[in-house]
């Protein structure tokens, strides 16, 4: 008995960049395409739309069941201006005449105002969360001070108080983890700004300074103090007393770093408001 096997449509994926991006500084984008078909590939076309439709025929291995292509797309001839967007996709045909279209992506040329808004949004988010952290951190400092006073008077701690100290350590470690997440996010934003065609050096410097402050908050000294304190909790009261003093010092340093970070972020927001007022006045003039 003979069975007919249906000819499936080809598969195509733009794996590089693989997502929507802002226009790079050099106006060149590396395009990576992966495609396959059960009966063999015939031809492919890279299509893009900006004002008018454009296309580029892909140099494929005709008849191959799979192929990977890569080329540099130079967008400098399109005449893009801030606020413009180019969409693109790949159209693929197999030997059986089946046609497949890839997902559509876009490349956007951001305006300077949008870059300011992006930076301001990140600064606002960090500022608001730092305020919450600062409030919570003050409570933990007071808790540690209370337990420290009790240990000096009674020379021992109850099981509940030891558990409370463990909870303080856990909360402080969560603050460090959150700050390290922000550092990663800010570094990504700085990288994007450096790659973008609108190079806003002032915003980049601002974000670098915030990243540096966050590194000071989540310092290696604070991490070590928290780790050591966990170990000292299992020891005798005298060791716990010394560990509490070290923890208190580390908490005070963290409190100062949080305050410093909030002051700088507040200054940045004031500068941004002045810039916005200046822009508004310029438009009205």
Domain assignments of the chain as residue spans, ordered by start: 11-108, 112-284
Q: Nearest 5°: phi and psi at 97?
A: 90, 0
pLDDT in tens, 16-48: 999 999 888 888 999 999 999 888 899 999 999
**Beta strands, E only, the chain:** 11-16, 21-22, 28-36, 41-50, 52-57, 66-74, 85-94, 99-101, 105-108
pLDDT tens for 240-274 read 777 777 777 777 878 888 888 888 878 877 777 77
pTM over 0.75: no
Q: What topology does CATH give the domain 11-108?
A: Immunoglobulin-like (2.60.40)
Assigned token pair, 145: 């001070």
Distance (Å, whole) CA 285 – CA 265: 30
C-beta of residue 153 within 8 angstroms of C-beta of residue 278:
no
pLDDT grade, residue 198 (50/70/90)? low
């Amino acid at each position: 008995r003979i069975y007919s096997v249906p000819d499936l449509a080809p598969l195509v994926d733009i794996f590089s960049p693989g997502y929507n991006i802002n226009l790079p500084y050099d106006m060149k984008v590396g395009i990576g395409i992966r495609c396959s078909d059960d009966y063999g590939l015939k031809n492919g076309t890279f299509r893009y739309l900006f004002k008018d439709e454009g296309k580029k025929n892909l140099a494929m291995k005709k008849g191959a069941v799979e192929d990977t292509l890569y080329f540099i797309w130079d967008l400098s001839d399109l005449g893009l201006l801030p606020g413009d967007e180019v969409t693109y996709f790949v159209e693929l045909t197999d030997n059986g005449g089946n046609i497949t279209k890839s997902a559509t992506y876009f490349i956007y040329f951001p305006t300077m105002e949008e870059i300011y808004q992006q930076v301001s949004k990140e600064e606002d988010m960090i500022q608001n969360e730092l305020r919450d952290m600062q409030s919570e951190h003050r409570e933990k400092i007071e808790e540690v001070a209370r337990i420290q006073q009790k240990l000096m008077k009674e020379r021992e701690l109850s099981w509940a108080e030891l558990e409370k100290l463990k909870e303080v350590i856990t909360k402080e470690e969560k603050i460090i983890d959150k700050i390290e997440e922000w550092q990663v996010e800010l570094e990504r934003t700085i990288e994007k700004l450096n790659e973008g065609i609108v190079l806003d050096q002032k915003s980049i410097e601002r974000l670098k300074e915030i990243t540096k402050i966050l590194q000071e908050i989540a310092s290696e000294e604070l991490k070590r103090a928290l780790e050591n304190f966990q170990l000292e909790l299992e020891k005798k009261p005298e060791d716990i007393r010394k560990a509490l003093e070290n923890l208190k010092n580390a908490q005070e340093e963290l409190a100062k770093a949080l305050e410093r970070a909030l002051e700088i972020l507040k200054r940045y927001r004031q500068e941004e408001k002045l810039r916005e007022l200046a822009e508004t006045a310029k438009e009205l003039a």
